[in-house]
C-alpha cells in the first residue's frame, strides 16, 4: 500500500514538472581548442547548463509539454584559465506553426562576449533580484528574452513582462565587470542594446511584426496559403517603419538573421502574390541579402 502511495506521489510531481517548465533547451559546448584541459569539465558544463535552463521555472504560467519553447544554446570556448572561461554563445529559438509540424525560427542571436567562471558541480543559482554569477545571469537573461519574444508571436507586445525581467538582469549585471552588459563598450549589438531596443517604443515595430508574421501569417497558411503569405508580407511593411528612422538597426538585423531563408521559401512557391512592394522593402531593409531576395518572383 505504501509503495503504491509513493508511486502515485512520484507520478504527480513528475507530471507537475512536465507541465511547469517553459524551455526545451538543447545545450552544446565546443571546446575543441582546449587540448590541455580535461574534456570532462566541458561535458559537465553542458549538462549543468542544460539542467539549469530546463529545470528553472521562469514564469508563473503552466506550460504543457507541447507548449515548451524549443531552443538551442551553442557555447564555443576559446579560453580556459583557472576555471575562468571565455566563449561565444549562439542562441536559437523556434515555435511550432498552427495546424502543422513545421517549426519556424524566431531568434538567432550571437553573443561574442560570454565570459564566466565555472566550478564543476557547483549549483547554478538564479535570483531575479541579485547578481550571483555571469554564467547564470547571461543564461537567465536569454531565457527571458526567448520567452518574451515567443509570447510576442502570439499576442501583440504580449511578452513585455519577461523582457522587463531581462532588462532587470542587465541592470544588476552592469557593475559585475563582465563584458556585454554596458552601453559604453563601443558597439551597439551587445546585451545592453538588445534589451534596450526590445523595450523601446522606437523599435516596437519589430515586436509587432513578429506577431503579424506568425499569428496572422504563418499560422493561417494551413487554411489559406495566399492569405497567410499576404500576412507575412504585411509584417515586412510593419518592420520597414524602423528602417525609415533607424537604418541598419540591430533589431532589423536580428529579424533577418532568423527569417531570411524562411521568407525566401515562403515566396518562391504556392499561390502567386504581388511581390513588388515586398521586394522593395526587403532590399531596402536588408540589402546584404539581395542575392537571396532575387530568388523571389
- Cα dihedral 143, 149, 155, 161 sign: positive
Residue 29, C-alpha cell as written in the block: 559546448
Cα–Cα distances in Å, from 73 out to 89, 157, 164, 188, 211?
A: 7, 25, 21, 22, 24
Residue 135, C-alpha cell as written in the block: 554564467
Q: Residue 114 pairs with which residues in a beta bridge? A: 87
- How many residues appear in the chain? 297
Q: Give the model's confidence band at 20: pLDDT under 50 very low, under 70 low, under 90 confident, else very high.
A: low
104: which residues sit within 8 A by CB, 6+ positions away?
A: 94, 95, 96, 97, 214, 218, 262
Give the tens place of pLDDT for each residue, 135-149: 999 999 999 999 999
Q: Is 269 exposed, middle or buried (0-12, 13-18, 19+ CB in 10 A)?
A: exposed
The pTM assigned to this predicted structure is 0.92
What SS3 string covers 167-190? HHHHHHHHHHCCCCCCCCCCCCCC
Would you kindly state where each structural domain of the chain is located, as residue ranges?
22-199, 205-297
For the segment 93-107, the average pLDDT, to the nearest whole number, is 97
CA-angle at 57, arms to 99 and 151, nearest 5°: 40
φ, ψ of residue 177 in degrees (nearest 5): 90, -5
How many whole angstroms separate alpha carbon 10 and alpha carbon 276? 59
Give the tens place of pLDDT for each residue, 192-225: 999 999 999 999 999 999 999 999 999 999 999 9
Give the tens place of pLDDT for each residue, 155-166: 999 999 999 999
Residue 264, C-alpha cell as written in the block: 525566401
CB of 229 closer than 8 Å to CB of 274? no
CB of 214 closer than 8 Å to CB of 95? yes
Given a cut of 50, is residue 9 above it in pLDDT? no
Q: Give the model's confidence band at 16: pLDDT under 50 very low, under 70 low, under 90 confident, else very high.
A: very low
The confidence score (pLDDT) of residue 213 equals: 98
Given a cut of 50, is residue 238 above it in pLDDT? yes
Q: What share of the chain is helix, strand, coil (3-state, %, to 5)?
A: 50, 15, 30
The confidence score (pLDDT) of residue 297 equals: 79
The confidence score (pLDDT) of residue 269 equals: 82
Given a cut of 60, is residue 4 above it in pLDDT? no
For the segment 185-189, the average pLDDT, to the nearest whole number, is 82
CB of 279 closer than 8 Å to CB of 296? yes
Q: Give the model's confidence band at 258: pLDDT under 50 very low, under 70 low, under 90 confident, else very high.
A: very high
- Cα dihedral 145, 53, 260, 101 sign: negative
How many whole angstroms separate alpha carbon 179 and alpha carbon 113? 6
Amino acid at each position: 500500500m505504501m509503495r503504491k502511495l509513493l508511486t502515485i506521489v512520484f507520478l504527480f510531481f513528475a507530471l507537475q514538472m512536465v507541465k511547469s517548465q517553459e524551455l526545451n533547451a538543447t545545450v552544446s559546448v565546443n571546446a575543441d581548442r582546449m587540448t590541455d584541459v580535461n574534456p570532462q569539465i566541458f561535458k559537465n558544463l553542458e549538462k549543468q547548463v542544460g539542467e539549469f535552463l530546463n529545470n528553472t521555472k521562469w514564469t508563473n504560467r503552466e506550460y504543457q509539454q507541447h507548449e515548451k519553447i524549443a531552443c538551442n544554446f551553442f557555447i564555443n570556448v576559446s579560453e580556459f584559465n583557472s576555471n575562468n572561461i571565455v566563449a561565444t554563445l549562439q542562441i536559437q529559438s523556434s515555435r511550432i506553426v498552427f495546424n502543422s509540424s513545421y517549426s519556424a525560427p524566431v531568434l538567432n542571436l550571437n553573443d561574442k562576449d560570454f565570459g564566466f567562471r565555472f566550478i564543476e558541480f557547483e549549483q547554478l543559482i538564479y535570483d531575479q533580484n541579485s547578481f550571483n554569477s555571469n554564467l547564470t545571469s547571461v543564461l537567465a537573461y536569454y531565457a527571458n528574452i526567448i520567452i518574451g519574444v515567443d509570447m510576442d508571436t502570439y499576442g501583440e507586445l504580449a511578452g513585455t513582462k519577461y523582457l522587463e525581467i531581462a532588462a532587470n538582469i542587465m541592470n544588476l549585471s552592469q557593475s559585475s565587470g563582465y563584458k556585454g552588459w554596458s552601453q559604453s563598450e563601443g558597439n551597439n549589438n551587445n546585451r545592453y542594446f538588445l534589451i534596450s531596443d526590445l523595450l523601446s517604443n522606437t523599435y516596437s515595430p519589430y515586436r509587432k511584426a513578429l506577431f503579424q508574421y506568425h499569428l496572422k501569417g504563418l499560422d493561417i497558411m494551413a487554411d489559406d496559403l495566399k492569405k497567410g503569405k499576404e500576412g507575412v508580407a504585411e509584417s515586412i511593411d510593419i518592420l520597414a517603419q524602423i528602417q525609415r528612422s533607424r537604418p541598419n538597426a540591430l533589431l532589423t538585423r536580428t529579424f533577418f538573421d532568423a527569417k531570411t531563408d524562411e521568407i525566401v521559401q515562403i515566396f518562391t512557391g504556392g499561390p502567386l502574390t504581388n511581390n513588388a512592394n515586398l521586394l522593395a522593402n526587403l532590399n531596402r531593409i536588408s540589402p546584404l541579402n539581395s542575392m537571396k531576395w532575387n530568388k523571389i518572383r
